[in-house]
Amino acid sequence: MKQWVKYIIFLVGVFSFGLFFYINIYLPKSTFKTIKPTFGDLGVYLRGIGSVGANHIYQVTAQSGGEIEKLYFDEGDWVKKGDLLLSIDGVDLPFVYDEAKIAYKKASLEVESLQSNLASLKSQKSLIELTYNRYKNLIRDGFISQAEYDKAKSDFDVIEAQIKSLHFSISSARSEMDKQQKSIDALATKLNRLEVYAPVDGYISKREAEVAQYVLPSTTIFKIVDPKTLWVEVNVDERVSTKIEPMQLATIRLRSQPDVLYEGVVKKIGATSNAITLEREIYVAFKQIPKPFYINEQAEVEILSDIYKNVLKIPSKYLINRDGKQGVWIYEDGRALFKSVVILAQNDDEVALEGIDENSEILELEKNKKPIRDGMKIFK
């Protein structure tokens, strides 16, 4: 083969390799995507870690000592106000209650009988009194003997004594009725205390007793959470807590549901700081109650502390730190240029800034690209 042919083949090979390198390696390494800043609103969030709690957690206790006869609900159940939660064995209390009602009925019947007798005696008294009054006039005029008068007077005195005695008996029977009624009321109250009802609509977060367990009147049986008062008690650094105000919007992420975001709102700000951790408690309420929920579950909260209106912003990943300065790489006249910026606000996703305008083309840095330097030739 002639020498010049070899040179031509060699040059063609070098040119082909160079063209391949330029097209497949140099150009991809030097080709960058660009974006332009946009105007819009930017929200700034404060983060904190806390636990699920509630403003109202009711401790349902036994109202009477005794052995638990039956439990009608368990942990994790939803109850309505007035639902029967548990019953306690009253032992002989129901029988004593029935006896008191029988005694009351007996006294009531006795009163009725005595009143009937009283009415009869009063009718007899009317006739005897007429005779007695007539005899008083007759003896004065000498028409009857003293013995006849004395008998009429005796009959009148006897029936008055009987009527008086009946009045005492009726009063005694009525006193017995009142006594038995008070006993019935007291026993009914005790019987009612053997059954415990839900004080509110809520969620049973804890059951602390079992069937056949003996409990005292102060023993806690259930803990019921009012779901309308469910919130997250989150700790926030004192230095940023002043930026938080009631009714600010927030998001809540439960540890058991990391992929679900719940909307929340700042409900209350604690008045006392923790002297050890230098944090303040913020209470963030749920807008929508998670079902189920677990008291004391860990939760992460983001509170929308401020909104910057109509600012120039870019995604946070385009912001870089170069020689201690915050800035971005921009595309200008086919080359790369580092541009310092002033940060107005920033969150995890976006940053609001000054120092560039909406027409600036910002370079996106990628690991598989060539490191950018000022004046470097850029393809896009």
**Tens of pLDDT along 358-370?**
999 998 887 777 7
The answer to whether residues 251 and 301 touch, using CB atoms and an 8 Å cutoff, is yes
User: Mean pLDDT throughout 195-214?
Assistant: 92
Q: Which domain holds residue 263?
A: 47-55+226-309
User: Mean pLDDT throughout 280-305?
Assistant: 92
Rounded Cα distance, 195 and 86, in Å: 6
Other CB atoms within 10 Å distance of the CB of residue 47: 13
Rounded Cα distance, 185 and 370, in Å: 91
Enter the tokens of residue 72.
Answer: 């009608």
State whether 188 and 216 are in the same domain. Answer: no
Q: 113-156 pLDDT, tens per residue?
A: 889 888 888 888 888 888 888 888 887 777 788 888 888 888 88
State whether 61 and 206 are in the same domain. Answer: yes
HSE (CB half, 13 Å, CA atoms) of 338? 14
User: Mean pLDDT throughout 7-30?
Assistant: 51
Averaged pLDDT score across all residues of the chain = 86
Which residues lie below 8 Å from residue 65, measured CB to CB, with a gap of 6+? 88, 214, 215, 216, 217
Q: 159-200 pLDDT, tens per residue?
A: 888 889 889 988 988 998 999 899 888 888 888 888 899 999
Rounded Cα distance, 166 and 122, in Å: 11
- Whether residue 281 is contained in a domain is answered as yes
The total number of structural domains in the chain stands at 3
State whether 179 and 159 are in the same domain. Answer: yes
State whether 142 and 210 are in the same domain. Answer: no
State whether 97 and 188 are in the same domain. Answer: yes
- Whether residue 36 is contained in a domain is answered as no
Question: Residue 26: pLDDT above 50?
Answer: no
What's residue 46's pLDDT?
A: 87
Rounded Cα distance, 174 and 162, in Å: 18
Other CB atoms within 10 Å distance of the CB of residue 100: 20
What's residue 22's pLDDT?
A: 45
Q: 325-338 pLDDT, tens per residue?
A: 999 999 988 888 99
Q: What is the pTM of this model?
A: 0.61
What's residue 343's pLDDT?
A: 92
The model's confidence at residue 283, banded by pLDDT at 50, 70 and 90, is: very high
State whether 74 and 201 are in the same domain. Answer: yes
Percent of the chain with pLDDT over 90: 41
The model's confidence at residue 9, banded by pLDDT at 50, 70 and 90, is: low
Q: Which of 260, 293, 309 is the last residue of a domain?
A: 309
Cα 25 → chain centroid? 62
